[in-house]
Structure formats: C-alpha cells, structure tokens
Structure 1
Amino acid sequence: MKYGSNSVGIRVVEVSKLCFSLEMYPILMPNRTQWCLSFESGDSFQNLSTALDRFREQLHELKALTWKEKTFRLFGFGDYEYLCKIYGLSGAGGRHFCLWCHVTQEESQIPRHLRTSQPRSIDSLIKDHADFLAEGQGKLKNAKEYNNAINNIIFEIPISQVCVPSLHLDLGIFLRFYNMFEDDIAKLQKKIDPSGTLNLVQSLDKTLQRMNVKRQAYHGKSFVGNHVHKCLQDGNIDMLTNAVIEEVKAVSPEYQDEATTICTKFNKLLKMFAKCHAGYSKCDYMEAEEIKELETNIDCLMASTESNFQMPKCLLKCTYWRITQFPGYRNGVLAVGSMGNRGENMCMLI
C-alpha cells in the first residue's frame, strides 16, 4: 500500500492544490483503489502538517492491520521536496541532503564504500530535531549541525519504506541535458551566423514535433514523463542529433565537422542516460545482476558528465544517490518504477 501526495498549480485562478492519496498495490493484482484529500493551499510544512494531521492515527492503525493473515506495508511517495517536509528536513539544498542517510554534499563525491555516514531512522530524526531546538535554538543557520532536521516528522513511517521519486529525477536530468545540447547548438549558430538570422535550435523543435513530443509552456519548458521516455529511444536520439548535422550541412558545410562533434557527444550522453532510465523505470523485481548493471551505468554516466561536459559529478551523485540507496530497491521489495507517483497524477484531475 502506498500513501503520498503531490501538488499542482492552477494558473488560471492562481490556486495551488495539494492532493493526498492512499493506493492499494497488491503484488499479484495490478488493480488499485485510491482516495485523496484535495487541499487548496501551498505545500509548506505548516500547511502539510495541518492538512495531513487527520491521517496520522489512521496510517498508524493501518501498519498494525492484517487481512487473511497478510500484513499491510506502507510505502510513502511524492516529489523529493514533499518527502523532505514530511520527515522534517530542510531539503535537497541542505548540507545533509539525503533522506535515507547522513551523507553530506562533500561526502557524496567520494566512493560509496569509503563513506562513514550513517543511515537515518525515525529515532535519529526525532533526536536530531530535539537537539536542533534545544542546542541549536531552532535557528536555521545551525541546521547543518543537526543533520538538517528542522521540523517534526508528520508521518512516522520507516524511512526504508519511502519511495524514490524516479519520475521527477528523469524529468530534471533529461531537461538539464537537453538544455545543455541546445546551448551548445546556439553557440555554434552564433559562430556560423553572427547576424542571428539562422536558427539551428529550430531544427530540434521540428524534430520533437515529428516525434509528437511537446515541451511545457510553463515550468521551464520541461517535458512530461511519457515524452522523456519517447525521447530516450535510441532511434529518436539519433533523429534529434542528426537533424542538427543535416541542417548545418545544408546551410554551412564548412561547420559540419564541428556540428558532428557536438551532436556525437550528446548522442552518447543521452544514450548513456537512456540505459540508466531503462534500468530503474521497470516495474518488475530487480535481481542482483540488474542492480549491479544499473549502478555501473550510473557510474559511467557520471564520469562522462564530469570529463566531457565539465559538469560537477556531485550534481548527479546527489540525485542518483537517492536511487541506489533506496532500501526497498536493494531488498527486492519492488522496482523503483513501481514505487513513484504512478496513479497519484490522477488526483490532479480532481
């Protein structure tokens, strides 16, 4: 059983809606039922605490229920900002950014087996917050000294049962890579035509249209999950990169080699990311070999971004750390793809 939340901004009436749902996830039966709370407000810690307070006892009782000699196991889900608020953390920008352990931004850059950071638990979060109030006087500038536990826990569900927001990771990483690709193409465009009449980036937009992929009008022109999945097919990656090469070849052949170098670099990057995406987006149980293969692909991707794009390794390490350290993923509970916001997005229609 999954419990969790998400929020949506309704621009027309300038209202933010917080939704909360409970989903049944029987292992042998894919059908699920869900109910939700709709709360028209922002998802600040105070609003979350007020809106979700009524569910504290119910979730606690659910943990103790049995049905036909089967026990209920609750898994929390939502975007990372929401999860940090539920567990009282200051968020991804804090020194101790990880929900699952005490790793620091600095420690995340060294190999996993050399780190000394300890896993978080409900008890450790409660103690860290109590110390933050008593010794740190509740001042945010002192949060890093107390593992960034700045608020009370809203739901005391074991952290090992909090799902990794893999959908949000996909959206953010793909958008970053795509914007990097556009930026490099824009620089080449200025070199070919300083007057600004040439628009190479437009060739990417036309290719997206042929793929029936649309960027969002708001939210930084991001992509929805299904479109990210479509863009990460090998054939579509080739279409995107080849479109730029063909356009440069037609308008300025002397720059074709430079265009090919840029596009080849991003073609390899996107295909490496596609392997990671395929590795953690599946909905089957993950065997040890599959986990090892995924971690190898993640390491290769991070090494590539650091050496070929001068992108600090910690940016991806902080992100992928959340996937590779999810206990449910390592203990064979369910694949990461089964544990995210699937089904929750239906609540956005209410």
Structure 2
Amino acid sequence: MQGVRDQVSRGDPAALMKEELKIHSRHELQKMLQELKLDQVRIPTGHLLAAKVDIGMNWNQCRKLRSTLTWHAGKIPEKEIWVKVGGDHGGGSFKMAFQILNKERPNSKSNTTVFCIFNAKDSRENLNLATSRFATEIKDLQQLKWTCQDGNEFSLRLFPAGDYAYLCLCLAENHKKFLLEGKGNLKLAKKYHNAIAPVMFEVPIDQVVVPGLHISLGIYLKLFKLMESELHDIDLKLQTYLSTVLDEGEVTKEELLADEHLGKFKAYVAAIDEARGLDEKADALEEKLEQEENQLGWQAFTDLVEPSADTNMADAEFEKACSAIKDLCVEKDKLRKGAAELRQKASVKVGQGPITSELDPALQELHVQRQAYHSGSFIGNHDESIKKLTAVITSVVTDIMEKYDDLPLTLVPKARETAQKYRQLFELFASCHKKYSHAGQMDDSAIDELGTAITAFMTYYREKVPNGSVPIKMHMLEHHVVPCVRKWRFGLGFLGEQGLEQVHALFNNIGRTTSGIADPVAKLNSTLKNHLIGVSPDHTGGVPDPVPRKKRKEN
C-alpha cells in the first residue's frame, strides 16, 4: 500500500494521505483518533516541571493536572479500587452516578459522573426499566480486575448509596424470606416489608452504606415537630385564658389584638363574643329546663298522691311535659355544641400561635431553609444554627407574662423546661452528626466516641419523650451506623449519599444551556453529554486557576 502511494503521489505520500483524509467527515476522523487512542494528551513529569518554570505555574496547579489515585493512608486495601454507585431523585429527574473513592476529594463535582438519567418518578417500575441494563455490568464489575499501566492489578469494590427509600430497593434479605417462608404469597407481603421483587443490583449487603445525610435530616425534622407540638400546647393554654383576661376589664379587645404576640389569636378573640352569646342562650335554656323538670317532678308526685279521675288526660299532660323538656335539652345541647365548634374552628392552628409562629422567622434569621413540601423537611445541614432556636421560646413567653398579669405564671417554667429539653436533644444529636457525617478516616477511639454519643442521645430521648416513637432513621442511627463505620473505617460522608446530592444543582445549571432544544429526549441527551465532557478524564487537563492567597488582616 505504501508503494502504491509512492507511485501515485510521485514521491509525496504525505500529500496523498492528506487528500484521502479530506474525504472523511470531521466526526469520522475524530472517531478514528479515538480508536487509535491518539486523542489523549499525557503530561510527563518533566513537562510539568517545565510548565512550572516556563509558564509560572505553582505546585498546586501542577498537582491538579495529574490524575492520581490514593489509598487514604492504608484505610482502603492496597489492591482495591472503591467505587460508590448511587441514585437520587431531584430537580424533576432521577439520576444515577458513580464516584471513584480512591481520590483526594471523592465527593467533588469533577469526580461525580452521572451515567443514567430520566425525567420521571423513582418508582420501582421506572428504576427497573432504566437501570436493568446496568445490573449485569455492576455484577460483573465486582468480579473483574483492573490493570494499570505499570502492570499492577486491582479488584473493584462497589458501595451502593442513596436515600433510605432507594436503598430499600437494593436489599435482598426480606425478599429471600418472602420466597422461602412466605412461599411468595402476596397476602403475607407485609410480614416481609413488601419485598416481593428481587434486588436490582447484586451487591453484598454489608456494602450497602447507611444513608447518613437522610438520617440527620429525618431526625432533625422529628425533633423539630415534637418541639413544635409541645409549644402548640402552650399556645392553646394561652388561648384558653384570653376570656379571663378580657373579663377582668383591664385590657380591651382592641389592645389585646394590637399586641405583637397575642394578636395571633385574632380569629379566636373574634369568635369569643359570638360563642359567648350562644353560651348565654344555653344558660337561659338551662334555667328554664331546671324549672320545667321541677314542675314535672311535682306533677308526678301529685298524680301519685292524689290520682286524677281522668288518667288518660293526666298521662297526656305528663307526656307533653316530658316532650317539652326533651326539646329544651336538644336545643341547649345544640347551642353548646355550636359555641364549642366556633371556638374550635377559630382556635389557633399549629405554627400560628404566639410561640410556634416565631419558629420559622427565627429559622430564616439563622439561614435554615425548610421545604414547602415533604412535611416541611429541612434543606442542608444546620446543626449549630438550629440549637439557637430554643432561645426564642423562653423570651416570647416571658415577654407575654410581663404584659398580662392575669395569665398563669406556670407557663413560664413550662416554656423554660421545654426549651431546655429540646436544646439538650439538639446538642446531643449534633454531637452524633458531627462524628459520623464527615468524609475523614476514623480509628477505634473515634468510633467508640461515636457509639457513646449515640447512646447518650437515645437514652435522653427515651427519658424525656417517653411516649415518642422511634422511627426507622433513629433505629438505623442506634443500631447500624457504628457497625458500618467500624467495618469501613470512614465517616458516612465518604461512602454515603452526600456527594451525590449536588448533581441536581449541577444539572439545573447545565440544563439552562440546553433549554432551547424542543425534543425532551434530545435535550436530556445533550445535557448528559455536556456533563460527561466536564468530568471525563479525556477532556480535562486545562491549566487550573491558581488558588488566591489569603490576605493578612491589617491591624
């Protein structure tokens, strides 16, 4: 072939080859280069040194140009590569991604690669349809060996991560029991946590990581709801004493409604007069009823002592009196019920009373966000800020008591007790959260401290909230966090779902550049391609921006 080129080109085969290449499209040429592995740029160490000298790069920029692996001071076995695989629904789409954990910053955006995305709910049917083609690959990856350029071989260990609902779809034990013990009978499915279908991915059960982030968010929300419920009880007690305050006459209704705290009872105060009118009518009927009952009793007594000659007439009069009394009772009960319904309908709702209504503004001042959906669950990690919330309780109640002497002073110690209890609960759980949510390495002493902190929190919770339930996330905290950390020797931030949560915001940003594409499938495909270009090692390697130096503060 080379001889033919020499003859045809008359001694200039390179020129002929250029003409041949012009026949192919740009896409075909790029594909050829990829197949020949000529589209990659490798930077040798010597060139890096030259880049530092000639271009003026600092060592931090040079290090970022090299994609090196780490075994985190031996915490990852020498011949293993750890890969985290997880999924989560957010921003209108479900995304599955993987992270190589043998990196200095395993949870960084540049180390998070999304390989599956669809715009639908994360139901089991949708997940199976979208991820079934990956199930075999994930199973095979755990049996394969990766050979690096120096000839060393490494095995791959996969760690599924995600929220609790997603992880439940990956568990196999309950399904095995359902088949063996329940004989696959759907009527018995509840006994086996409704695990009626096999797992999506065959991964050892001890490699399914406890979802530390969702445990924290769930327990914070649980404690907040308990605190809000107890504070609502104090709001209702304040509400019941409003009639007493108004009856004393020292405070007018207008003055009461103008108060920044008690003004929250505006609807209830407006209903007091109307309900009181119904009660007064019921009181009048009760007096009349008492008179009618006395008269009926006297009539029965006289008929017994001096029987009437016309017994039929006497019986008719007695029945008529009984019917009138019955009608009075029905009308009185109707008025009482109407007054109670008025008060109940106008009663302050949870989160609207003088105390509970101060919680959300206080959260906003502390920059703690709550979702407008999902039961008002918290967004992000705010373990320090949320403890300061309890200080609002005592200050509001004390302020109200100082203004109105007729209110019971017993509410002040009750409010202080509630504030102290939940401050302690938040502090104890914050200690647990700090000890397990990070991505650092953990030795035996750190793990023992974590176990002690969890025990202290759960003991105090059961002591102070004796009737409180222990939801599944508290159970996982108490019984599964420490064994998981002790086995893998890392905080849950390293193996858990925290690093995968950021892909939703990342894809929202990328989606803005593809918003002009009409076809939804093409738009999603373009968004995913843009993401892969940004994280693929074959497309990275530009000179990183230098890290700005911290300026010293001048005195």
Q: With structure 2 as the length reference, what TM-score do the two structures score?
A: 0.50
Q: 1:136 touches 1:142 (CA, 8 Å); kept in 2? A: no
Partner of 2:118 in structure 1? Answer: 39
2:482 corresponds, among 316, 324, 336, to 324
Q: In proportion to residue count, which structure has more helix?
A: 2
What is the CA distance between 1:138 and its match in structure 2?
3.5
Matches within 5 A, 1:109-258: 127-128=176-177, 130-131=179-180, 136-142=183-189, 144=191, 149-194=195-240, 196-197=265-266, 199-226=354-381, 230=382, 232-233=383-384, 236-237=385-386, 239-253=388-402, 254=409, 255-258=411-414
Deviations 1:273-319 (A, max 9, x none): 11111111121111111111111221121122212112457433355
What is the CA distance between 1:140 and its match in structure 2?
4.4
Rounded Cα–Cα distance in structure 1 between residues aligned with 2:130 and 2:362? 44
Q: 2:212 touches 2:493 (CA, 8 Å); kept in 1? A: yes
Rounded Cα–Cα distance in structure 1 between residues aligned with 2:418 and 2:478? 26
What is the CA distance between 1:238 and its match in structure 2?
5.1
2:178 is equivalent to residue 20 of structure 1: no
Q: With structure 1 as the length reference, what TM-score do the two structures score?
A: 0.77
Larger Rg computed on CA atoms: 2
Partner of 2:491 in structure 1? Answer: 335
What is the CA distance between 1:263 and its match in structure 2?
0.4
Q: Aligned in 2, Cα 1:21/1:268: closer, same or farther, shift over 3 Å?
A: same
Rounded Cα–Cα distance in structure 1 between residues aligned with 2:187 and 2:433? 36
Q: Tell which deviates more after alignment, 258-267 or 21-30.
A: 21-30
SS at match of 1:264: helix
Residues paired across the two proteins, number? 298
What is the CA distance between 1:55 and its match in structure 2?
0.7
Partner of 1:8 in structure 2? Answer: 90
Rounded Cα–Cα distance in structure 2 between residues aligned with 1:140 and 1:319? 31
Q: Aligned in 2, Cα 1:142/1:54: closer, same or farther, shift over 3 Å?
A: closer
Partner of 1:280 in structure 2? Answer: 436
Partner of 1:78 in structure 2? Answer: 162
Partner of 1:48 in structure 2? Answer: 127
Q: 1:238 touches 1:267 (CA, 8 Å); kept in 2? A: yes
Deviations 1:57-105 (A, max 9, x none): 322333213243333221111111111112357xxxxxx6xxxxxxxxx
Residue segments in structure 1 that go unaligned for 5+ positions in a row? 11-16, 90-95, 97-124
What is the CA distance between 1:321 and its match in structure 2?
2.1
Rounded Cα–Cα distance in structure 1 between residues aligned with 2:198 and 2:369? 40
Paired residue type of 1:164? V
Q: 2:95 touches 2:114 (CA, 8 Å); kept in 1? A: no
2:171 is equivalent to residue 87 of structure 1: yes
Identity across the alignment (%)? 28
Q: 1:175 touches 1:223 (CA, 8 Å); kept in 2? A: yes
Partner of 2:34 in structure 1? Answer: none
Rounded Cα–Cα distance in structure 2 between residues aligned with 1:205 and 1:346? 25
Residue segments in structure 2 that go unaligned for 5+ positions in a row? 1-82, 243-264, 267-352, 403-408, 508-555
Q: 2:435 touches 2:491 (CA, 8 Å); kept in 1? A: no
Q: Aligned in 2, Cα 1:45/1:205: closer, same or farther, shift over 3 Å?
A: closer
Rounded Cα–Cα distance in structure 1 between residues aligned with 2:498 and 2:208? 14
Q: Tell which deviates more after alignment, 59-68 or 75-84.
A: 59-68
Rounded Cα–Cα distance in structure 1 between residues aligned with 2:184 and 2:178? 11
2:426 is equivalent to residue 270 of structure 1: yes
Partner of 1:65 in structure 2? Answer: 145
Q: 2:85 touches 2:97 (CA, 8 Å); kept in 1? A: yes
Q: Aligned in 2, Cα 1:339/1:248: closer, same or farther, shift over 3 Å?
A: same
Paired residue type of 1:322? H
Root-mean-square deviation (CA), in Å? 2.4
Q: 2:366 touches 2:386 (CA, 8 Å); kept in 1? A: no
